[in-house]
Each structure stands twice: as C-alpha cells, then as structure tokens.
C-alpha cells in the first residue's frame, strides 16, 4: 500500500485523466491501482474544500469513502450519454412567479404587410423575416431563389468568416421546392414559410454531422432532428447550414478555425453562438438559432451587431441539443430585428413531453400590450459612471422617454453570483465526464486555465454539499428577483455592466439584446470597419412578449438594426 504525502496527493489531483487520481468530490480520492484512501489524502482534500476535521473524524470516514469510491466507479462504467437528463429539473417558478400554463399554443395572428421586392440581391439578403415573409407569400420571390442566394453567400464569405461547419444544401433545396409548391397552391404555413435559416451546430439534424464545435465529436451524427429543428420544419422554414460554435459552447474557436466578426474580421465573433451571430450579421441566412448558458446569445449578438432573444428558461425545448448545464441552457433566435425574433420564437416555443422543464404559456405577436402599457425600469447605477457605450445607451433611454414610456430607476439584488455560478461548471463537468476520464479533453483546441479541459478537471473537486447549498442560495436570488418584478415588466440596462447577465441566467429571466452603436475601429486599415455595441432589455419571467415589445419600439425609432457590415 502506497503512503501518499499531501504534496503527491495534490500533484496527482492536478493531472486528472484515465490513469491518474480522480475526484468526483474533494473528499473522494481514487488512488492508482488498488491503493486505499488514506487519512493524509482526506486532510489534503480538506484544504481544497475549505473545511477541517479532527484526526479521529478522518479515520472514521475511511469506510464510507471507500464505499463511495466503489459506487463512483460503477457510475463511471455507465458511460452516460450527453442526452441523458438528471432526475431533477430547474424551475424558475420556485422564486414565486407562476406561469399561466396553457394546453396549446395560441394561433398565429401576424399577417405580412405588402412590400416591393428590392432591386438587388444584396438588399434582398438583408431583409428582415417579416419582409421576406411578405415577399414569399405574395410570390414576389420564391423560397428556391432565397435558398440559392443565401447558399451562394455562405460559400462566398465563409473563407473569411469561418461561420459554417457544414452546409445542408441537399436538404435545403428539397425543402425550398416543397415550400414553393405549397405557397403556389395558396397554402401558407405562417411567417417562416420558405425562409432559409441556420442552426448552431449543437442541434441534431438527421443525415448531417453535429460536431458541437469540438474535435472529439467532429465526426458525430444523430439519427433524429432536434425538437427546435422539427418545429421549424413544420413552420416551413428552410435549414441551409449548421453554423459554428466555440468548442462545447465556449468562445468562438472551434476545431476548424476562429469564427470572425463581419464588422471587423480581424476580431472573433465572440461566443459561443459564434456562427449564428456572424452569419446573421453578414446577411448569409434569414435568421439563426443560438443557445445561451451564460452569455452565448447576448455576447455574439453584441459583437456582431444583431438582435438576440434569450427566452425565459423552459419556454423552448432543448431535446436534441447538446447539454452544457441542465439548469441553465436555453435556445433562442438571433435575427436582424426584435420583430424577427418574435416570429421565430412564436414557432419554436411551447411544451415538449421529452423536456420536463418546458411548458406552454401565452404568447401573441403583435403583443396585445404596447410599450406604453408596460412598467419599465432602468438600472440607474449602471449608467452613471463613464464607459465606452454610455452615450448610445443614454440615447436609447431618451428615445423611450420621447415615445411616452415612463422610466423609473431600480436596482438588481445585491448578491455575489460567483458563489452560485460554479453550478454551471459542475454540471458541464458531469455532462462531459467521459472526455475527462478518457483523456480526450486534451484534443480540444483551447487548453488554458479558463478553458473547458481545466474546468472539467477542477470542478470534480466541488463538494456535493456545496453544490446543493449553491442551489439553495439560487432560490434566494430567485425570490429577490420575484420581489423586484412585482412592480415591473421590463428593465433596461447596459448589456455588460452590473451583474445582470449572471443573475438573469441563474434565475431564468428573458432578455433581448439589440444593437445601438457602431463605433470606428481605432487604427484600422479599413475606415469602414466598426465595433458594434448593444443595450439589453430584461423581462419578468414568461413576459418574453414585453421585452420584444420594448425592443421593437426602440427599433421603430432608430436604424441600428438596419446597418450592414463592410464585408457585405
């Protein structure tokens, strides 16, 4: 029996892999071979966990820890697929806000307004979903024309943007022809009928690779479609591409390249919905579906100057999507306008029996309430000090006031989210345990201190007790947010100032991020290059209509969402 010192214990713990010491919790140590757990190892683990026991208590633990090790080994042998969900679900309603559940979604009430077809294909490529829908329904353009146009643009610009993992060309052409046949016959499925779109490549599509942006999965495929893909198929939308994501939904670097920002291709497009942000911005798709766990819609929407809706947690099914965090993952549209996002959300939201977090609750577009009917707050403290986008953010507040919206200053709960957000990394470590145990995490492109491989290893040291207590602290945060929103419908805030991004991703509140500035890039060789920026509207749980309505009002009075990057 080996006698490990504290130093050798810690050195071994830093090299987590198939042949080294493994720690599903800091009080569990599986030594190499058949070595037993020692009291010295327990004492060393206490330092990491921030706790302390007596020598007698450590000795008493040995039998239980050995029993745990046996059970943990059995768990490792199960080789759980990423698609298997835990036996518990996160419910935003625990904080005190109840959703008005419905048995079925309300029928579509939106109808397109007549418009003329633009004279150029470039103008056509940058039209919004409502505009494209109008042209398609009036048969002023065909789905096949649009599909070929967008496919050509994807092929033309991808050598610069690196936004495409794979084209779904055969599927797209088949869908476009079917859409045109239905539209020619007078059968209209709704606003998305015939419109080409792109899917973040964490959504399964039968017959095509679903790589999750990561080298260990670059040849992976599934024999089914994700539920969101299926719903968009039913809506008549045309899938033309699987778009990039940073490896395993982190950043904008995937196994093929770094996805670029069309406004400044020297810069990455941010992540992890890197491809959706870049492709929508450059006019390569009519709209895209991204995902967010902690900023993965908000950040690339800001970087690329597009509009991104992060729906209330549980309003869109995640079946067939890669799991990073069961309690935080959300799917949502990334588009050219809030009105686009509303029409896409209308098609994809609603309960799915295979995703127990989902429910159906009321959503209509156009909303039955105008922005003037809503109670609108703004985070005064985040606007007060100097920062790069201050003038643009204040201009948005002024536009709201000019439109008749009454703004009142509010503050978010004062809670340190760091003591809760480690839940995300613990869940991600569980979702990708096989990468850690097999050593294949070393195949991921990014290997630094903040990259997934290091996070997966280090978060095996989180005690289960602290994970549960972080969840309890999360309940307190949800309750504080419920109290705040008793007198509010939406809150306007600078996108990355304050703690709104962390808080609202933990509590499940919806938000929409819209472009509001395009600043010159200092010392750029191309004077047309710009640095987009954004402002964000946060909503009460299940009031996705409200954030869309306020964003739509802002965009009706400004033209930032109409800007085109110089690459176009």
Residues 337 and 486 in one domain: yes
Residues 273 and 380 in one domain: yes
Residues 73 and 121 in one domain: no
Q: Where are the alpha helices (DSSP H) in 209-361?
A: 227-234, 274-281, 298-304, 338-348
Question: By C-alpha distance, which of 245, 347, 260 is closest to 297?
Answer: 245
Longest dimension (CA), the chain: 83
Name the domain count of the chain: 2
Is 200 tagged catalytic? yes
What does the pLDDT read at residue 9? 30
Question: Using the 8-state DSSP alphabet, how is residue 258 labeled?
Answer: B
In 311-458, beta strands by DSSP E: 330-335, 376-379, 407-410
Question: By C-alpha distance, which of 204, 197, 95 is closest to 150?
Answer: 197
Residues 34 and 131 in one domain: no
Residues 166 and 41 in one domain: no
Residues 477 and 331 in one domain: yes
Q: Kindly state whether residue 74 falls inside one of the protein's structural domains.
A: yes
Q: Which of 13, 296, 429, 458 is catalytic?
A: 296
Is 402 tagged catalytic? no
Q: Kindly state whether residue 450 falls inside one of the protein's structural domains.
A: no
Residues 66 and 183 in one domain: no
What does the pLDDT read at residue 340? 98
Residues 146 and 189 in one domain: yes
Q: Kindly state whether residue 184 falls inside one of the protein's structural domains.
A: yes
Pair type for strands 238-243 and 164-167: antiparallel
Q: Kindly state whether residue 567 falls inside one of the protein's structural domains.
A: no
What does the pLDDT read at residue 568? 65
Kindly tell me the sign of the dihedral angle through the C-alpha atoms of 77, 82, 84, 86.
positive
Mean pLDDT by 10 residues, the chain (568 residues): 34 33 38 70 88 90 86 85 92 96 91 97 98 98 98 98 98 98 98 99 98 98 98 98 98 97 98 98 98 98 98 98 98 98 98 98 95 97 96 98 98 95 96 94 93 91 92 96 98 97 98 98 93 98 98 98 92
Q: Which domain holds residue 6?
A: 1-78
What does the pLDDT read at residue 567? 86
CATH number of the structural domain spanning residue 150: 3.90.1300.10
Residues 261 and 388 in one domain: yes
What does the pLDDT read at residue 131? 98
Q: Which of 200, 242, 258, 330 is catalytic?
A: 200
Residues 329 and 477 in one domain: yes
Is 272 tagged catalytic? yes
Kindly give the interhelix angle for 129-137 and 143-161, rounded to the nearest 10 degrees.
Answer: 150
Q: Kindly state whether residue 48 falls inside one of the protein's structural domains.
A: yes
Q: Kindly state whether residue 183 falls inside one of the protein's structural domains.
A: yes
Q: Kindly state whether residue 393 falls inside one of the protein's structural domains.
A: yes
Q: Kindly state whether residue 447 falls inside one of the protein's structural domains.
A: no
Question: Rounded CA gap, 356 and 85, in Å?
Answer: 9
Residues 119 and 202 in one domain: yes
From its phi and psi, is residue 350 left (phi > 0), alpha (psi between -120 and 50) or beta? left
Q: Which of 31, 134, 270, 272 is catalytic?
A: 272
Residues 377 and 475 in one domain: yes
């Amino acid at each position: 029996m080996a006698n490990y010192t504290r130093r050798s214990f810690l050195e071994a713990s830093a090299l987590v892999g198939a042949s080294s010491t493994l720690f599903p919790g800091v009080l569990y140590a599986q030594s190499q071979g058949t070595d037993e757990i020692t009291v010295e190892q327990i004492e060393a683990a206490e330092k990491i966990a921030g706790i302390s026991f007596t020598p007698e208590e450590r000795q008493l633990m040995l039998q239980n820890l050995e029993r745990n090790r046996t059970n943990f080994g059995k768990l490792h042998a199960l080789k759980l697929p990423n698609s298997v969900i835990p036996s518990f679900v996160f419910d935003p309603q625990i904080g005190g806000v109840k959703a008005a559940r419905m048995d079925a979604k309300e029928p579509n009430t939106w109808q397109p307004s007549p418009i003329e077809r633009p004279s150029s294909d470039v103008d056509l490529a940058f039209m919004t979903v409502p505009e494209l829908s109008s042209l398609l329904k009036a048969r002023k353009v065909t789905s096949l024309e649009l599909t070929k146009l967008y496919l050509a643009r994807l092929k033309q610009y991808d050598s610069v943007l690196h936004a495409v993992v794979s084209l779904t060309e055969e599927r797209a052409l088949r869908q476009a022809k079917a859409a045109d046949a239905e539209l020619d016959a007078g059968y209209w499925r709704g606003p998305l009928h015939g419109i080409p779109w792109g899917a973040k490549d964490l959504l399964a599509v039968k017959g095509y690779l679903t790589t999750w942006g990561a080298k260990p999965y670059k040849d992976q495929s599934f024999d089914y479609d994700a539920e969101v893909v299926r719903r968009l198929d039913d809506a008549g939308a045309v899938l033309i591409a699987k778009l990039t994501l940073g490896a395993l939904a982190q950043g904008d670097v995937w196994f093929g390249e770094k996805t670029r920002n069309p406004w400044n291709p020297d810069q990455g497009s941010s992540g992890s919905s890197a491809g959706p942000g870049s492709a929508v911005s450059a006019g390569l798709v009519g709209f895209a579906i991204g995902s967010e766990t902690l900023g993965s819609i908000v950040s690339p929407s800001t970087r690329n100057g597009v509009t991104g809706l992060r729906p209330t947690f549980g309003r869109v099914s995640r079946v067939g999507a890669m799991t990073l965090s069961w309690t935080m993952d959300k799917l949502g549209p990334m588009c050219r306008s809030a009105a686009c996002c509303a029409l896409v959300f209308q098609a994809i939201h609603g309960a799915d029996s295979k995703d127990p977090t989902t429910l159906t609750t009321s959503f209509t577009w156009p909303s039955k309430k105008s922005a003037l009917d809503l109670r609108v707050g703004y985070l005064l403290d985040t606007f007060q000090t100097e920062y790069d986008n201050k003038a643009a953010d204040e201009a948005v507040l002024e536009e709201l006031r000019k439109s008749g919206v009454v703004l009142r200053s509010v503050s978010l709960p004062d809670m340190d989210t760091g003591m809760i957000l480690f839940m995300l990394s613990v869940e991600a470590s569980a979702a990708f345990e096989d990468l850690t145990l097999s050593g294949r995490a070393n195949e991921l492109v990014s290997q630094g201190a903040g990259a997934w491989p290091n996070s997966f290893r280090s978060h095996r040291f989180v005690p289960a007790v602290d994970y549960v207590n972080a969840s309890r602290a999360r309940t307190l945060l949800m309750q504080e947010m419920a109290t705040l929103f008793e007198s509010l419908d939406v809150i306007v805030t600078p996108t990355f100032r304050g703690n709104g991004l962390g808080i609202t991703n933990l509590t499940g509140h919806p938000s929409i991020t819209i472009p509001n500035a395009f600043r010159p890039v200092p010392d750029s060789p191309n004077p047309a290059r710009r640095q987009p920026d954004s402002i964000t509207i946060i909503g009460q749980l299940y009031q996705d209509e409200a954030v869309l309505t306020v964003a739509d009002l802002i965009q009706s009075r400004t033209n930032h969402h109409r800007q085109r990057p110089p690459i176009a």
